[in-house]
Amino acid sequence: MRAITFDIESISDSLVRGRVDVDEQELTVVAIHDSETGAYSSYFKEDLPRLWSILERTDMLIGFNSDSFDIPLLNRYYPGDLSRLRSLDLLSEVQKVLGRRIRLQSLAEATLGKGKKGDGLKAGEWWKEGKREKVAEYCIEDVRLTRELYDYALKHGILKYKDLRDIRDIKIDTSLWESDAHLIPSMTHALPL
């Protein structure tokens, strides 16, 4: 199974009720991990056509908050329909169990013993300062954490988070994550024919 773990960085000056409005965001970079090659790579807006052929040959997209942010935002640039690709959103998986959202930073620190090297606001500042490669590196690190959390959950059936002072387990049902019965064909045909 070919899985693409991905993350997007974006910029905007608008917030709606303290939340980021996907429709007001402009994509700056997409970073991916390709399970077929084991490689991490990044794509600025002008590089996106190279990314499309990779996405067309994937069996599943893996992200963090990807169903409500990354996929809808990337879909604005994609000539097809990314919602037709099979996807797994780790944040949604956690939210199903806990009934609430947990930050990637919290999951990574408790589960993997390491955290993020910045945040989205800092990445936006770097972008405005012309530090494109720094934003791409930051985005790749988020992909690395997401992929490691996915692999950890697959192997152990749990993720961890810090709740006040205690580290708590989140039991995650991974039984269908890599099930052949739920795989879509290797050519997704998400692009219009």
C-alpha 13/C-alpha 75 separation (Å) is 21
Which of 20-24, 113-117, 121-125, 178-182: highest mean pLDDT? 113-117
In angstroms, the Cα distances linking 28 to 88, 124, 133, 137, 144 are: 22, 9, 11, 12, 18
51: helix, strand or coil: helix
CATH number for the segment(s) 3-99+116-142? 3.30.420.10
Q: Could you report how far apart the first and last alpha carbons of the chain are, in Å?
A: 24
pLDDT at res. 192: 54
22: helix, strand or coil: helix
Q: What is the pLDDT of residues 143-185, one digit of tens each?
A: 999 999 999 999 999 999 988 889 999 999 999 998 864 444 4
In angstroms, the Cα distances linking 32 to 97, 139, 152, 187 are: 26, 9, 18, 18
Q: What is the pLDDT of residues 65-89, one digit of tens each?
A: 999 999 999 999 999 999 899 999 9
pLDDT at res. 118: 74
